[in-house]
Amino acid sequence: MLKLSGQQDRNGQFCDGFSRRSLLNIGTLAAIGTAGGWTLPSILKAEEAAGRKASPKSVIMIYLVGGPPHQDMFDLKPEAPREIAGPWRPIATTVPGMEICEAFPLLAGMADKFTIIRSLVGNQADHDAVQVFNGRNPKTPKPSGGWPQFGSMVSRVAGSSIPTAPPFVSLCYPCTHGPYNEPGPGFLGTAQAPFRPLGPTKEDMILNGVSLDRLADRKSLLRSVDQLRRDIDATMTMTGMDTFTEQAMGLLTSSRLAEALDLSKEDPKVVARYGKGDPTIFMDGNGAPRVPQSLLVARRLIEAGVRVVTLNYSKWDWHGGVNAEGRPNNSIFVREQEDFPVFDQCVSALIEDLHQRGLADDCAVVIWGEFGRTPKISNIVGRDHWPQVNCALMAGGGMRHGQVIGATDRIAGEAIARPVTFGEVYATLFHHLGINVDSATIADNNGRPQYLVEEGGKVMPELV
């Protein structure tokens, strides 16, 4: 639970087992202030004096569980034989020369606001979310404890952007197929694990067990210490300090994050624009739910000050049989007819929302899966696993959009122009957050410095 007490060790862990992101200690802050250290009010005051931006840079990462069919979505090959091309036809977009699936008319109408990567290479071959979340192929050597996922690395290097928001929140639903789940903080340990409001830590957003009287006592303590500091303040800046003390207390006792998770506080028209899904229906039993409102919650968390939000969306590994609702599904194209329009609605809503709310420069979005799909359509599994090439969609982040990066051959089987690696995409996301991947390192369990991205991962010049 989110507590107002607790002692923190040098590793950022509290004696009761909670990480630093889950605990705000008013009493400790006040005690530090008596020794001439920083209180939260003084931190806030210093940040204002330094002209700190109200909107920190952030990233929303959307994992399409199971591997999306690139040649049915963003890399159609209408001139290929039917057993390769499939039933979908491409449509023009607002960007001359860019075509996408006809099932995505809303996205087609805002193509100038996103980038399609058609040549993502180096994909691992199995159903495994590891590479999506940390950019590392799970088959390659890794340090003891494993590689941390992206949000955990950002948490370690950059920390929280504001006192009331954890740096990393995961909205991923737990999948029964283990490899579909996030890999976790790796060698960085639980101190850098994501806050998971959809899991057992949902109650962390509430000040459980803290009575108003107890809160008032701590507020009195903070005021008493600050009064002592005022008495010896040679600059006599009493009025300003009162303002920052009030602001600090408001932050420490706010429900900003809890409210971000509560869609009842959102404009119903905005909620309707994204659409809704049933979070209790896990697609095909072992995928994630098809929940468009997760994208809206992600945007609200970004506004609440979270740096990185991850989420998993639906199930893109279609092998016939029956769908999640029990209806016959003998073709992957039945599921595409169900999923594509919902995807078009919620992703276009997110991109539109970020622009309308002035967040498009500050928040970058990446949408991808673990691999692509076979060019040839089989009668049994539809399009099977295909690690040779994959696709991704990127939006926001103040990047240069309205373009297609890379190209595949006539059957969408191999990259023939500008191959892009996971490391390059991650280097670009870190760059957006103000983190230099050429110099920033994190220490593994053996104290060895490790770079944040795989060797050769450089910022994509096409985007920045």
Q: What is the pLDDT of residues 96-142, one digit of tens each?
A: 999 999 999 999 999 999 999 999 999 999 999 999 999 999 999 99
- Residues of the chain with pLDDT > 90, as a percent, come to 67
* Assigned domain for 18 exists: no
Domain boundary among 188, 219, 252: 252
* Assigned domain for 10 exists: no
Q: Which of 38-47, 52-61, 379-388 has the lowest mean pLDDT?
A: 38-47
Residue 205's pLDDT is 47
Domain boundary among 226, 252, 278: 252
At 254, is the pLDDT very low, low, confident or very high (cuts 50, 70, 90)? low
* Assigned domain for 368 exists: yes
| pLDDT digits 0-9 by tens, 180-239 | 999 999 999 999 999 998 755 554 444 444 444 554 565 565 555 555 555 545 444 444
Residue 32's pLDDT is 40
Q: Which of 99-108, 212-221, 270-279, 330-339 has the lowest mean pLDDT?
A: 212-221
| pLDDT digits 0-9 by tens, 22-51 | 333 434 444 444 444 555 556 556 655 655
Backbone φ and ψ of 217, nearest 5°: -60, -45
* Assigned domain for 164 exists: yes
- Exposure string for 155-178, b = 16+ CB within 10 A, e = fewer: bbbbebbbebbbbbbbbbbebebe
Question: Are 231 and 145 contained in the same domain?
Answer: no
Question: Are 97 and 143 contained in the same domain?
Answer: yes
Task: Find the CATH number of the domain harbouring 95.
Answer: 3.40.720
Q: Which domain holds residue 119?
A: 58-204+256-451
At 367, is the pLDDT very low, low, confident or very high (cuts 50, 70, 90)? very high
Q: Which of 7-21, 324-338, 364-378 has the lowest mean pLDDT?
A: 7-21
Question: Are 315 and 330 contained in the same domain?
Answer: yes
CA distance 24 to 166: 11
Q: Are 315 and 339 in contact (CB under 8 A)?
A: no
CA distance 196 to 172: 8
Question: Are 79 and 120 contained in the same domain?
Answer: yes
How many Cα atoms within 13 Å fall on the side-chain side of residue 380? 2
Question: Of 385, 360, 365, which Cα lies nearest the Cα of 425?
Answer: 365
Question: Are 93 and 229 contained in the same domain?
Answer: no
Q: Are 321 and 332 in contact (CB under 8 A)?
A: no
| pLDDT digits 0-9 by tens, 140-156 | 999 999 999 999 999 99
Question: Are 221 and 358 contained in the same domain?
Answer: no
Q: Which of 11-25, 227-241, 287-301 has the lowest mean pLDDT?
A: 11-25
Question: Are 34 and 83 contained in the same domain?
Answer: no
Query: Considering the entire predicted model, what is its pTM?
Result: 0.80
* Assigned domain for 11 exists: no
Residue 333's pLDDT is 87
Residue 261's beta-bridge partner residues? none
* Assigned domain for 8 exists: no
Q: Which of 9-23, 45-59, 335-349 has the lowest mean pLDDT?
A: 9-23
* Assigned domain for 9 exists: no
- Start-end of H helices in 289-421: 293-303, 332-356
Question: Are 291 and 437 contained in the same domain?
Answer: yes
Domain boundary among 227, 252, 277: 252
Question: Are 232 and 305 contained in the same domain?
Answer: no
Residue 135's pLDDT is 97
- Residues of the chain with pLDDT > 70, as a percent, come to 73
Q: Measuring CA to CA, how many Å separate 270 from each of 48, 122, 246?
A: 32, 38, 33
Mean pLDDT of the chain: 83
Given a cut of 70, whether residue 5 has pLDDT beyond it is no
* Assigned domain for 185 exists: yes
Question: Are 407 and 381 contained in the same domain?
Answer: yes
Question: Are 293 and 366 contained in the same domain?
Answer: yes
Number of domains in the chain: 2
Question: Are 48 and 63 contained in the same domain?
Answer: no
Question: Of 433, 370, 311, which Cα lies nearest the Cα of 137?
Answer: 370
